Amino acid sequence: MKIQLLPSTFNEAGEATPEQRLTCYVIDDRVAVDAGSIALSVTEEQRRTVRDIIVTHPHMDHIATLPIFIDDLFGELTEPIRVYATQEVIDVLENDIFNWTVYPRFSELKNDKSKVMEYVPFRVGEEFRIAHLRAVAVNVNHIVPTVGLITTDGEHTLAFSSDTAETEEFWQLVNRTPRIDALLIEASFPDYLAQLAEVSRHFTPASLKKELRKMKKHKDADILTVHIKPSYREQVVEELKALKIPKLRIMEPGETYEW
């Protein structure tokens, strides 16, 4: 199973830089988790192969270029782009993004071969299939309805916290999952901004360290930290390294991680 965090920031030469402004992961070149930078940063191959996208919550950094991705592909799609989300999130996308004002309602449109977009609602706690994967979502603790996820290809398994502060159900699910190869978990703000992290429902390195005690199993899982706010990146990275948690690494945009 391979995964990339797509880049969302580039230098003058057009090369990806480590700052993460948007969130979009691509698994096995086929499935995306969130779609912040999808239209900007997929490879040409991925543009042809990614047709299934899970949206964890409707914050702009997680959906920013979803409309553009579908727009780009409009004429050539032979199957719809499938957007998997809870009904609550689908309602926000339909009412506030694909509402004919901000962007066309692609779920009502087709090209000469196919519908161009289709919603696939899922319920938290119920496993669903997505391309070659199985996934299950749980509610996490963010300021809008947001899900964390566990997804598996039957052999390897990844867990995504999405955006969250202290939470319980996610860890219960992680602890009862037989195998976790990697945990992708957010660490948005430095420790001195703990209060801001709390009101916006995100982690700091210190609160993340405490939170990781809830992971009772899978001590050998890789821990990849993500969603570090670019303006505080240096400090957050320093604080994360100072935690000296074995297996904890900063996930680098554009790199491929494989299990």
Contact residues for 124 (Cβ-Cβ < 8 A; gap 6+): 86, 137, 138, 139, 147
Q: Smallest distance from the beta carbon of 48 to Zn ion, in angstroms? A: 27
Q: Does 239 bind Zn ion (CB under 5 A)?
A: no
Helix or strand run (H / E) with residue 210 = helix 205-212
| 52 is an interface residue for Zn ion by CB under 5 A | no
Distances, alpha carbon 57 to alpha carbons 3, 83, 87, 101, 186, in Å: 20, 12, 11, 21, 14
Q: Is 34 in the site for Zn ion (CB under 5 A)?
A: no
Are residues 164 and 203 in contact, defined by beta-carbon separation less than 8 angstroms? yes
Q: How far is the CB of 57 from Zn ion (least distance, A)?
A: 6
Minimum distance, C-beta of residue 163 to Zn ion, in the bound complex (Å) = 4
Question: Cβ closer to Zn ion: 55 or 248?
Answer: 55
Segment near Zn ion (CB under 5 A), from 97-105, 130-138, 161-169, 174-182?
161-169
Q: Does 186 bind Zn ion (CB under 5 A)?
A: no
Taking the complex as a whole, how short is the minimal distance between the CB of residue 157 and Zn ion, in angstroms? Answer: 23
Site for Zn ion in 113-152 (CB under 5 A): none
Of the candidates 130, 134, 141, 125, the one whose C-alpha atom is nearest the C-alpha of residue 32 is 130
How far from the centroid of its chain's Cα atoms is residue 27's Cα? Answer: 10
Q: How far apart are CA 25 and CA 198, in angstroms?
A: 25
Per CB under 5 A, the segment of 39-47, 99-107, 159-167, 251-259 that binds Zn ion is 159-167
Of 163, 181, 211, 239, the one binding Zn ion (CB under 5 A) is 163
Q: Find all residues with CB under 8 Å of 219, minimum gap 6, and list them.
A: none
193-230 per-residue burial string, b: 16 or more CB within 10 A, e: under 16: beeebeeebbbbbbbbbebbeebeebeebbbbbbbbbe
Calculate the CA dihedral of residues 154, 247, 52, 40 and round it to 10 degrees.
Answer: -160
Q: List the one residue from 34, 52, 61, 181 that touches Zn ion (CB under 5 A).
A: 61
Provide, rounded to whole angstroms, the least separation between the CB of residue 138 and Zn ion.
16
Q: How big is the site for Zn ion, counted in residues (CB under 5 A)?
A: 3
Q: How far is the CB of 188 from Zn ion (least distance, A)?
A: 8
What is the rounded CA–CA span in Å between residue 39 and residue 125? 30
Task: By CB under 5 A, tell whether 218 contacts Zn ion.
Answer: no
H or E, element range at 149? strand 147-152
| Distance in Å, CB of 189 to Zn ion, minimum | 12
Considering only 59, 209, 218, 229, the residue that binds Zn ion (CB under 5 A) is 59
Q: Which stretch binds Zn ion (CB under 5 A): 53-61, 152-160, 165-173, 251-259?
A: 53-61
**What are the residues binding Zn ion (CB under 5 A)?**
59, 61, 163
